[in-house]
Amino acid sequence: MITLYDYALSGNCFKVRQLLAWLGLEWRSVPVDFHPGRAHKSSAFLARVNPLGQLPVIDDDGFVLRDAQAILVYLASRYESEPRWYPDDARLRGEIAMWFATADELTRTASAARLHDVFGYSHLDIEACRRGAHAALRLLDDHLAERAGGGDAWLAGPHATLADLACFPYAALAGEGGIALDEYPALRDWIWRFRHLPGFIGMSGIFAPDPA
């Protein structure tokens, strides 16, 4: 069974939980006291789980893997019956990898702004975080608007892929870091579409739609 070292309020952990749900896999959660306990920086965690002191991490019957995007690629590559989330097409995989870089930039900026505002990480340069987040969100919004003009609703390919899953949570949670999405209409529409995908589970701050 897959073990996920998890934190309920982490957007990066959410990505993994969501894909596990969509793939219908059995898994167990090992909660890690990220805040306020900072258990991800403990000597035991660094020695036994992830020397970088980051979440998420999975253990799939002894195969230990860190980094949210790497975990998404592994899970989709190993467990998808049909290659939907990680299509078996070189160009699409290249595009997905390109958007992984944007997802990492959102973690560095929008997620950091959220850590500042919600978790009290006062050492962060909040204005630099917000400027960087707006640059990444503008990139997403421009791309999504251009795609919409051609009749496409997602970042890469004709349906949602790992590119969308990777970028989604910290775009959707941007408001918790003081980053308004008012000027990004295509991005807001994309967030709404993603939340309404069948089987969407949500997390604190990104609620699943009421089935009624």
pLDDT tens for each residue of 81-97:
989 999 999 999 999 99
Residue 6 and residue 29 in contact, taking contact as beta carbons nearer than 8 Å: yes
Cα separation, 156 vs 61, whole angstroms: 32
pLDDT digits (tens, 9 = 90+) for 103-158: 999 999 999 999 999 999 999 999 999 999 999 999 999 999 999 999 999 999 99
- From the number of C-beta atoms within 10 Å of its C-beta (0-12, 13-18, 19+), residue 56 rates as buried
User: What is this structure's pTM?
Assistant: 0.96
